[in-house]
Structure 1
Amino acid sequence: MPRADIAEVFARFQKACPEPKGELFYTNPFTLLVAVVLSAQATDAGVNKATPALFAAADTPEKMAALGVDRVTDLIRTIGLFRTKAKNVVALSRKLVAEHGSQVPRTREALQELPGVGRKTANVVLNIAFGQPTIAVDTHIFRISNRTGLAPGPTVEAVEAGLERVVPAEYRLHAHHWLILHGRYVCKARKPDCPACLIRDLCRYPAKTV
């Protein structure tokens, strides 16, 4: 997609939704980190059903570590892979207490050293909690980048690098939110709602729906 068209894509997204927000429930950088870890291979809606009780019991690394794996497991049992996620949440909480003064790190490298935290999770936390212009590529963004021609690539890493090259700087902070919401509600995997799409005239997808 030409650079001028890419700029127009994000100008339209910004006009339609000037301040996009993530849909995960959280109260501080720590609970955001936990929510994003829990959201791997799960829906935001499903995570949001479990986290209010979890965060009421533990909204700091100290409290989460004290809660322990068994109790965390009970509280997140409705989320997929809950046993592994409970272990990771408690382990990352202990690591935050021991190595980071109970504070969520502000660098991707430090975040990725925490149990259960990969590059995508780190990018989400850096973007939402700390206002860094990172782009977290999930399945929606991967699909849209390839389908529309925004930043085609064979891997998540390639798409992330492509988006970082082509998204204009003034749109970078909110880019991944706009793309995720667009993929979740309009450019859906099985049947994109092309008639309702803000960017259908710019999109390079050859099989548009009518």
Structure 2
Amino acid sequence: MVTAIAVIALLGVVVCLGCLVYLHVAPTGLNPVRDPVSQYGITDYFTFYRAAALSLGVAALMLAVALIEALTEANAAGIVFLVILGFARLTIGWVPMDAPGAPRTSTGLRHNLLATAFFASATVAAFLFTGTFAGDAGLSGIAPASGVLAWAMAVFSALILLTSLVGPLKRFFGLVERLLYVAVLAWIATVAIALVAA
């Protein structure tokens, strides 16, 4: 059962990655170094953004279920943060960001809160599970990679805050956000593959 659930989580990562790659080669007019990933959600290609968000949400929730079943030592806090991550992604595609230069709206604020919940919960979950993996006979091998990716998420999250606040650095916001996406997807994929192989 754990293997099947982990496979679904891994497929969620693959679908999310495929949608994001397509958005980056589609003629959206967006600059991946400057523009946020969420901006794809307010283009004509918003369906692919929603699919990416949904598939990542499913991946996170399935990973939570698989870890509940697989771990010898429970990590309730880590599961809670994975669930927050999952639901943040499941809903964000229907809560679009405000267009650049447009007046701020309550919908845009909710979008920002969901995005923050996504990045923060992924980072916290990765840190919480790193310790659990280290003490688990079946998953101890991925503890070092989990720790590296957790720190990468923390660094990129801090840089997202920096590039959103400091004028000259704002042109790099999109790049930093995409690096954070890579770290999150890599962490979920690493754990899911380990569960499949266990």
Normalised by the length of structure 1, the TM-score is 0.27
Q: Point out which structure has higher relative CO (alpha carbons under 8 A, 6+ apart).
A: 2
- Which structure would you say has the larger Rg? 1
Considering fraction of residues, name the structure with more helix.
Answer: 2
